[in-house]
Amino acid sequence: MYFLDVDLKNERYTGFTLGQAIRKIDPRGFLIYVTAYGELAFDTFRYKLEALDYIVKEDRESMFRGIRKCLGVIRDRLKEERGEDRQYFTVKFMDTVRHIPVDEILYFETGGKSHRIILHGLKENMDFTGSIQELQKNLSGKFVRVHRSYLANVRMVKLLDIKEKKIVFINGEICPFSQKVKYELMQRINE
């Protein structure tokens, strides 16, 4: 996202020629012109800039309203590009707060210590304080309680070994499941 003025007070570039240079480097970037020169708005077409907006600095309120609109359009376009709103799971890990995309979590398991949960992800594993019951309540749409100690992301299951009662995830990790959830698990995987 690039906010540009038409008059850059620069001998080498105008806002329009800078926009052309940006387009060469970042063809998908969002160009937003914020300027006092309303009469030059059509020059964005002449320079083939495909600007998202041309906001005239009339008063601060209308200028900021225009900027907020642009930010909303950019947010919506990026969400649409990803195909959906990506959900995140927030966890306090050591002295930091982490936001892990839910679609990168394979499963949760209870740890050896009381109230310890181990998150098994595509990129990393981490442990934190919590309960499987609370996770099950908060993540019920995509996760199934497959065992007393495990909560699995059904969208990450590669294979269900019915005989061995094991779930194989897309990265090869394995977790057990109990017989009593076999049919629910099969149904949820096939959704």
Q: Which domains does the chain have, with CATH numbers?
A: 2-82 (3.40.50.2300), 88-189 (2.40.50.1020)
pLDDT for 121 beyond 60: yes
CA distances from 183 to 43, 106, 142, 179 (A): 63, 20, 16, 8
Query: How would you classify residue 106: left for phi > 0, otherwise alpha for psi between -120 and 50, otherwise beta?
Result: alpha
Long-range interactions of 140-143: CB distance < 8 A, separation 24+: 142/102, 143/107, 143/108
> What was the pLDDT predicted at 37?
87
> What was the pLDDT predicted at 174?
96
Convert the pLDDT of each residue in 69-114 to its tens digit.
999 889 888 877 765 567 888 888 677 888 888 989 999 999 877 7
Q: pTM for this structure?
A: 0.56
* Mean confidence (pLDDT) of the chain: 89
